[in-house]
Amino acid sequence: MPTVSVKRDLLFQALGRSYTDEEFNDLCFEFGLELDEVTSEKDIISKEKGEEKAEGASETVLYKIDVPANRYDLLCLEGLVRGLQVFKERINLPRYEKIIPAKDEGQKLIITEETVKIRPHAVAAVLRNITFTKERYDSFIDLQEKLHQNICRRRALVAIGTHDLDTISGPFTFTAKAPSEIKFKPLNQSQEYTASQIMDLYRTDSHLRHYLHLIENKPRYPVIFDSNGVVLSMPPIINGDHSKISLNTRNVFIECTGTDMTKAKIVLDIIVAMFSEYCEKQFTVEAVEVTYPNGKTHIYPELAYRKDKVKPELINKKLGISETPSSLAKLLTRMCLNSHVIGNGNNIEIEIPPTRADVIHACDIVEDAAIAYGYNNIQMVIPKTYTIANQLPLNKLTELLRLDLAAAGFTEALTFALCSMEDIADKLGMDVSATNAVHIANPKTAEFQVARTTLLPGLLKTIAANRKMPLPLKLFEISDIVVKDPTKDVGAKNYRRLCAIYYNKSPGFEIIHGLLDRVMQLLEVPPNEENGYTIKATEAEPEAETYWLPVQHGVHYTATMKSSAFFPGRCAEIFVRGQSVGKLGVLHPDVITKFELTMPCSALEINIEPFV
Amino acid sequence: MGVLSWQEAQGSLTAKGEREPRRIVGLGIMSSEIKAPRPMTSLIGLITSQSPRIALRPHSLRRPERGSSRRTQDGAAHSSSSAEKEHFRVTAVAFPAVAMSPSVAELLLQRLERTPPGPEGGLCSLEAATALGLDHQTLVGAVKSLQALGKVIEAETRATTRWELSAEGAEVLRDGSPEVRLFHSVPTEGLLQSDAMKLPGAQVGFSKAMANKWLRLNKGAPGGPRIFRAVDAVQDTVQNSLRQVQEGNGNSLSERERTDLKKRKLLLEVTLKSYWIRKGSAFSTAVVRQETDLTPEMIATGSWRKLPFKAYNFSALGLPPTCGHLHPLLKVRSQLRQIFLEMGFTEMPTDNFVESSFWNFDALFQPQQHPARDQHDTFFLQDPAEAPELPTSYMARVKKVHSQGGYGSQGYKYEWKVEEARKNLLRTHTTSASARALYHLAHQGKFTPVKYFSIDRVFRNESLDATHLAEFHQVEGVVADRGLTLGHLMGILHQFFTKLGISKLRFKPAYNPYTEPSMEVFSYHEGLKKWVEVGNSGVFRPELLLPMGLPESVSVIAWGLSLERPTMIKYGINNIRELVGHRVNLQMIYDSPLCRLDA
């Protein structure tokens, strides 16, 4: 959720009244915003860098306001104020107007063929006779940054460039050139660099280095020139210094280039709608003609108003309220959706302004009616939906077994489903390729390399973290492991496992064995070979090899633990009705040592799915 | 959870110490190394003629107890290897009288009888123990037993401190201090520093000998730094001081000498608690022996009718039962399952941590450029990197509604790519399972209303802190029926949260890609004195439901919350890492109370 930081006093001045923090918080809550923090520049610096550095910083009160991720129209002070004032019926939503200059008098942007493979889209507009102040200018820059971080997906989808139109002369050309052929003075630099040098220059820049990868490996970089060959910008990295805007800039040329046309249009509409407020002719924008490589032309910004019709009873029915059509229309108008009743009160016509690109379906309109009505004014009703509850059989069995395992004296652990490759392989004396594990592509740390294929490492790590506890330690966990399974739609499957462990001065195999007997008793599986369970000594296994057990009751399951984890001669495989369901035994001293333990330990791990 | 119990949970955090049972602290040796007083078992054993046995019990239980002989089994089960010693504390336990020889108490009374009456007359428990050839602790047991009989004796506690050698100190006394030993190991031609450092105790010895200017170091010597004797002979003052302590003259050392030796961990200051014992107003050597407890023999012979019984100490705690324990998070999970079942919700299958981007995002109308689909937020898979199978015709409808719209929607108008949808990941929410369940519902033929729930793990590639882990449990409820309204969603949320003990709710408009309207659920937290978010909810978008094939008249309302957050509030845990994962303290699991959410 984007956070917009605004100066409190400036906000209240624009709203025409002041609020206590609590009052403003309530207003935000009602409107779907969140007053996240009341702070000041000084506070922020002192928190981040220490009090000394904050010395002399501004103590102006700042409101940090969380804005819903789809409301690009609320990402700056101008938009927030406009939204809240319309919501409070203090102003009417202004109408944004596109002024198309007479033929050959307007600005032109020509897109060449070369951009197609790298950044094919571009739109542009001009704000004429704008008056910047320090605050307006800062807000203008901030909004671009907020848009870049959110809808523009860190400039991958759209990058914005704003220029002082009086320093450049159209028509402008958006093309792509080899890095060595691009040379200009980047914004706030003192000398010219080639594009390749620019990339090197910004490799260590805390801000810009994040965007370099977007074009770095392309043979050609996108670039916009004016008719004299002056570089406006090299999107999505940096603008030229030549055309940079200042507080004195009167005419602003705005270009948005990108890989997503829809978003480029939205971004341009938002910027011009927000800042046309400061133009001599308020809320007007001068259009720019964009020429595509195929010769076709189009006028931007779109600033399109879309009309939609929604039946009043649909709104009432979806919300559980009963408002008249005209009152619903009024509610919607308060949400910047100018609405009126048509067709004898049977329909409401809604005009969706260019700033509300988030409204794409009637359900969005319904939500806005609900916000204006006040969520907390809606009558709560218990649905009459009559249903009979059912538990998932596997979870039901798990719940029952948990209780009886605790009654048998074992304590329940809850360990992570993600772990390192080492945990499931090296430490258990096997090769990772034999685990059939699911591998994570982008782990932040080695703790999240794979999904666990056995519950044993988690329990051993739990004991390692609790070595100071009195012995014996008796732990269990019933939870899921994950293995690759090409027969599944996602190529992997969970299995519900039961793992128990006994850690003491003696291995206590008989205790773990006793627990197995108890579990089988609970599951009504008698100790015999034909229709019950048996345990059989495992042979020393050949080098790590994955084996798939045959399908039973439509369920695949792999061997639970490799016997490499066990002390030779102290490991048995558990068979239920001839089917292997797991293993039990005394852990191998190497395994104990690798998990930083010192005592003998016996363990049991079975798949419980066959018992559902 | 719940408004009331939130407070309670907070209270129990701060007042944890006070909740601990009262401890009856016996007299014992307080070593200077033990900072906190160790609680001791209350001694209520009878005056016995048998020498008491030493039993071990887990230190962690930290509770005085009533039983005595019951503990023998426990004691026998544990041996006392050095590795285990720190887990157990030694407790003297008296056993019921059976033998005929005089008991410790009787011996003590006999000695006491010989002391002159009046305030001056009396015995020191330490001296008495030495004289009787008994362990002091044993004598203390007898004193306590006698005290329990009334005014037979009077005993007041006294504390004396004395100095003892540590194990290391004893070694120095025997072999000399490390600095002297090192000095003697250095021959006249000197010794390579690297070789010297391999000698036992050389680290300490070297620094001390250098400080004493006994040795000098030539850093530039050929072959590496070399040490040489700087004086001809040295005196082992450390050893001498320790000898004095050993001979009981520790007090003759200067304060500074003692502090130095203490710093070097050669000396221990031992606080000895003892009793000064005097005759009481009802002094007698003929004490009636009281029985500890009923025995089968007493019942058989009826002798219990005439026997006096020792009073129980009811302020001591009982013996904790040996049992297993359930994990607190999963106790809360059980209660939440119970709540859903009470409300008629059926459990959805969630048995796939691995999910395709299609079900996790696309099916939920979450556009392919959505930030949640970024590498920074989601665990993508390297193997299996792609889902082998996606539902073809449904996928075509999903593609269309994303890229072009339909079902009354403008769509997102972007180029939807199947390669993105195929990308496997660890599910970021269980809403993917809800999507599968709803798709399945749409394909079962005639629509029937359903209420579904699930509680299972989800995964986020987040930076970890006190409230965020890479995996957590999501609780999700879904209702699909004709004519459901936002008021219904609020109504069912109210019922659900009331069962969790939270009844003061308010709703904030919010944004979720897959619900519209969307609401965040806030509850007033009495402890924090503010509204805190407790869940997220909404009405599923038509762009999600209609491509699945659900009838247009059907609305689906849903909500979700994490399992960890209410559990942390319920059990007063501030750091999620103390609740989940292998690093949790098992004692926390052992001690966690029942999960009663509405209480």
Query: For A312-327, what is each residue's pLDDT tens digit?
Result: 999 999 999 999 999 9
Indicate the pLDDT class of residue A562, thresholds 50, 70 and 90.
low
Instruction: Specify the higher pLDDT residue, A250 or B35.
Output: A250
Within 404-423 of B, beta carbons closer than 8 Å to A belong to: 405, 407-414
Chain B environment of A379 (Cβ under 8 Å)? 487
* Torsion over CA: A579, A583, A585, A591 (sign): positive
Residue A343 neighbours by CB under 8 Å, 6+ apart: none
Each residue of B254-296: pLDDT tens digit? 888 888 888 888 888 888 788 888 888 778 777 667 788 899 9
Q: What is the pLDDT of residue B274?
A: 85
Taking the Cβ of residue B589 and every Cβ of chain A, the question of whether any pair is shorter than 8 Å is answered with yes
pLDDT reported for residue A44: 84
User: Which pLDDT score is estimated for A84?
Assistant: 95
Cα A272 to Cα A73, A108, A275, A294: the distances in Å are 11, 17, 5, 27
Of the candidates A390, A412, A405, the residue with the CA atom closest to the CA atom of residue B595: A412
What does the alpha-carbon distance between residue B214 and residue B230 come to, in Å, rounded to a whole number?
A: 5
Which one of A317, A406, A415 has the shortest CB-CB distance to B582? A415
Q: How far apart are CA B569 and CA B547, in angstroms?
A: 40
pLDDT of B45 over the 60 cut: no
Q: Does B580 touch chain A (CB under 8 A)?
A: yes
HSE of B506, CA atoms in CB hemisphere, 13 A: 13
Residue A379 three-state SS: coil
* B interface test, pick of A260, A382, A385, A479 with most B CB neighbours within 10 Å: A385
Q: What pLDDT was estimated at residue B144? A: 84
pLDDT given for residue B91 in this prediction: 33
Tens digits of residue pLDDT in B289-320: 778 889 999 999 999 998 888 888 888 888 88
Tokens of B405: 């719209």
pTM over 0.95, yes/no: no
Using the CB atoms, write b or e for B285-304: b if 16+ within 10 Å: eebebbbbeeeeebeeeeee
How much is the pLDDT for B49? Answer: 33
Give the residue carrying structure tokens 């732990």: A475
Instruction: Check pLDDT > 80 for residue B33.
Output: no
A54-68, B32-46, B189-203: which has the minimum mean pLDDT?
Answer: B32-46
Average pLDDT, chain B: 80
- Whether B509 has a pLDDT exceeding 90, the answer reads yes
**Higher per-residue pLDDT: A42 or B543:** B543
Per-residue pLDDT at A334: 96
**Measured between CB atoms, does B548 come within 8 Å of chain A?**
no
Look-up of token digits 């000398």: A191
Residue in chain A lying closest to B382 (CA): A441
HSE-up of B481 (CA within 13 Å, CB side)? 18
Q: Do A383 and B481 touch (CB under 8 A)?
A: yes
- The pair of structure tokens assigned to A473 is 């330690």
| Of the listed ranges A41-45, A208-212, B420-424, the one predicted with least confidence | A41-45
Among chain B residues, CA nearest to A598: B83
pLDDT at A487 over 80: yes
For residues B430 and B590, what is the distance between their CA atoms, to the nearest angstrom? 30
B72, B123 contact by CB (below 8 A) = no
Residues 491-530 of A with CB under 8 A from B: 491-494, 496, 505
Give the helix ranges, DSSP H, for A150-260.
195-202
Query: Which amino acid is residue B469, in one-letter code?
Result: L
Average pLDDT estimate for A489-494: 96
Residue A376 pLDDT exceeds 60: yes
Q: Which residue of B has its CA nearest to A437?
A: B383
Please report the residues numbered 350 through 389 in chain B whose beta carbons come closer than 8 angstroms to any beta carbon of chain A.
351-356, 369, 371, 375, 379-389
Q: Which residues in chain B have their CB less than 8 angstroms from residue A493's CB?
A: 351-352, 354
Each residue's pLDDT tens digit, A418-440: 999 999 999 998 888 888 999 99
Is residue A15 classed exposed, middle or buried when 0-12, 13-18 and 19+ CB atoms within 10 A define those classes? Answer: middle
Buried b (16+ CB within 10 A) or exposed e, A58-75: eeebbbebbbbbbbbbbb
More confident residue, B100 or B318: B318
Judged against a pLDDT cut of 50, whether residue A184 lies above it is answered with yes
**Which range among A521-535, A575-589, B219-233, B368-382 shows the weakest confidence by mean pLDDT?**
B219-233
**Residue, of B63 and A489, whose pLDDT is higher:** A489
Whether A367 has its CB under 8 Å from any CB of chain B: the answer is yes
Backbone φ, ψ for residue B256 (5° rounding): -70, -40
| Smallest CA–CA distance from A487 into chain B, residue | B388
Q: What is the pLDDT of residue B23?
A: 35
Tell me, what's the pLDDT at A168?
94
Range of lowest pLDDT (A285-289, B15-19, B519-523): B15-19
Strands in A411-412's sheet, in edge-to-edge order, are A411-412, A473-484, A492-503, A601-607, A579-587, A566-576, A533-537
Say which range, B124-138, B274-288, B425-439, has the weakest mean pLDDT.
Answer: B274-288
CB contact under 8 A, B486 and A375: yes
Q: How many CB atoms lie within 10 A of CB A171?
A: 15
- List B229's β-bridge partners, or say none: B215
Question: Is residue B66 scored above 60 in pLDDT?
Answer: no
Query: How close A258 comes to chain B (CA, Å)?
Result: 12
Q: How confident is the model at residue A148, as a pLDDT? A: 94
Range in A74-83, A546-555, B118-127 the model is least confident about:
A546-555
Q: What is the pLDDT of residues A442-474, one digit of tens each?
A: 988 888 999 999 999 999 999 999 999 999 999
In this predicted structure, which of A210-224, B254-268, B330-344 has the lowest mean pLDDT?
A: B254-268
Contact between B516 and A366 using a beta-carbon 8 Å cutoff: yes
Provide the percentage of residues in chain B whose pLDDT is more than 90: 40
B323 touches chain A (CB under 8 A): yes
| pLDDT average, residue stretch A154-183 | 93
pLDDT-based confidence at residue B599 (cuts at 50, 70, 90): low
A414–B330 CB contact, under 8 Å: yes
- Identity of the residue in B411, B471, B488 whose CB atom sits nearest the CB atom of A417: B471
- CA angle, A356 then A361 then A362, to 5°: 105
Q: Does A307 touch chain B (CB under 8 A)?
A: no
> Are the C-beta atoms of residues A411 and B585 closer than 8 Å to each other?
no
Q: What is the pLDDT of residue A49?
A: 80
3-class state of residue B287 by DSSP: coil
CB spacing of B353 vs A263 below 8 angstroms: no
Report A:470-489 residues touching B (Cβ under 8 A). Answer: 470-471, 473-476, 480, 482, 484, 486, 488-489
Global ipTM: 0.91
Percent of chain B exceeding pLDDT 70 equals 82
B68 vs A: CB within 8 A: no
DSSP A191-206: S-EEHHHHHHHHTT-T
Residue of B nearest to A362 (CA): B408
Instruction: Check residue A407 and give its pLDDT.
Output: 96
For residue A470, give the nearest of B60, B457, B469 by CB distance. Answer: B60
Where is average pLDDT lowest: A121-135, A518-532, B156-170? B156-170
- Would the CB atoms of B380 and A491 count as touching at under 8 Å? no
Q: Does A394 touch chain B (CB under 8 A)?
A: yes
Is residue B421 pLDDT above 80, yes or no? yes
- CA–CA separation, A64 and A70 (whole Å): 18
- State residue B172's pLDDT score: 86
Cα–Cα distance, A541 to A299 (Å, whole number): 73
In this prediction, residue B162 has a pLDDT band, given cuts at 50, 70 and 90, of confident
pLDDT, one tens digit per residue, over A247-260 is 999 999 999 999 99
Query: Beta strand pairing status for B515-525 and B450-459?
Result: unpaired
